[in-house]
């Protein structure tokens, strides 16, 4: 059988924002809220591709390289919990148009290439905890991190020795106008 990898497109977060979110998480959530996502694994998923072959990966990378996405500002000022999937997240209260366009393009390219795309609407978020199936009190509004994403990336996800590892395989810039 052809070798496949579990891949997804995501926005990378600047190191500084990753560190600030981790510090904030440590002081604003109960210790046992769920399984915390490691600092280096914080990302904003744009399109999930599933387990795909090297050929399909190459084709999707070519298509991604043709995207000309203008840069946009992203303000992370909202948090929530999805009890069914056990996810606690932070994300933008108002998703910038550029972010929605980028996710739409990547998801449409993925769908056309045969990668199943869930019918659920895109809800941009950064997962902070997984396996958070008991409701927790969310931090009061007032927090926010703003930045200008400079790139999006193709990530490979693997699960080894009880841990999820993400590896950035390729990156593309968001273009300044
Ligand atoms: O890190 P987040 O939560 O944004 O939830 C999975 C994770 O997103 C999502 O892909 C990201 C990397 O694993 N994911 C996993 N399986 C999925 C699926 N079948 C999925 N997204 C959509 N459909």
pLDDT band at 2 (very low <50, low <70, confident <90, very high): confident
* Sign of torsion over alpha carbons 160, 3, 170, 73: negative
Q: Check residue 87 and give its pLDDT.
A: 98
Look at ligand 1, atom 8, and give the residue with the nearest C-alpha.
45
Residue 74 above 70 pLDDT? yes
d(CA 74, CA 35): 26
> pTM, whole model, 2 decimals?
0.96
Q: Is 157 in the pocket of ligand 1 (CB under 6 A)?
A: yes
Sequence ranges of the domains in the chain? 4-173
Beta strands in 22-150 (DSSP E): 35-36, 43-53, 74-76, 78-82, 87-91, 126-130, 145-147
Q: Check residue 1 and give its pLDDT.
A: 67
Residue 177 above 90 pLDDT? no
Q: What is the best residue among 18, 38, 40, 45 to mutate for testing ligand 1's pocket, by most ligand atoms within 8 Å of CB? A: 45
Which of helix, strand or coil describes residue 60?
helix
Q: Is 132 in the pocket of ligand 1 (CB under 6 A)?
A: no
Residue 156 above 80 pLDDT? yes
CA triplet 94, 130, 48: central angle to 5 degrees? 65
Q: Check residue 176 and give its pLDDT.
A: 83
Look at ligand 1, atom 18, and give the residue with the nearest C-alpha.
48
CA triplet 144, 148, 151: central angle to 5 degrees? 130
Q: Check residue 122 and give its pLDDT.
A: 96
pLDDT tens for each residue of 119-155: 999 999 999 999 999 999 999 999 999 999 999 999 9
Q: Bridge partners of 173?
A: 151
Q: Is 127 in the pocket of ligand 1 (CB under 6 A)?
A: yes
d(CA 115, CA 59): 12
Report the chain's mean pLDDT, rounded to a whole number.
96
> What is the position in ligand 1's atom list of the atom closest to the CA of 44?
4
Name residue, tokens 């069914």: 84
Q: Which residues are catalytic?
A: 43, 125
Residue 48 Cα, ligand 1 centroid: separation in angstroms?
6
> What is the position in ligand 1's atom list of the atom closest to the CA of 85?
5
d(CA 126, CA 44): 5
Dihedral over alpha carbons 23, 144, 33, 136 (to 10 degrees): 150
Architecture of domain 4-173: Alpha-Beta Complex (3.90)
Residue 177 Cα, ligand 1 centroid: separation in angstroms?
31
Per-residue exposure over 121-155, b if at least 16 CB sit within 10 Å of its own CB, e if not = ebebbbbbbeebeeebeeeeeeeebeeebeebbbb
């Amino acid at each position: 059988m052809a070798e496949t990898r579990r891949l997804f497109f995501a926005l990378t977060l600047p190191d500084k924002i990753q560190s600030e979110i981790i510090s904030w998480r440590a002081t604003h959530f109960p210790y046992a809220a769920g399984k915390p996502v490691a600092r280096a694994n914080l990302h904003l998923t744009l399109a999930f591709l599933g387990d795909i072959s090297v050929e399909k990966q190459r084709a999707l990378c070519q298509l991604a390289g043709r995207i000309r996405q203008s840069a946009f500002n992203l303000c992370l000022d909202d948090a929530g919990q999805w009890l069914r999937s056990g996810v606690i997240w932070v994300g933008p209260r108002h998703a910038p148009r550029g972010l929605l366009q980028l996710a739409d393009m990547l998801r449409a390219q993925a769908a056309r290439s045969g990668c199943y795309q869930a019918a659920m609407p895109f809800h941009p978020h950064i997962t902070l905890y997984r396996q958070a199936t008991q409701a927790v009190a969310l931090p009061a509004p007032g927090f926010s991190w703003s930045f200008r994403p400079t790139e999006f990336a193709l990530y490979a996800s693997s699960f080894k020795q009880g841990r999820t590892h993400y590896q950035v395989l390729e990156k593309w810039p968001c273009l300044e106008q």
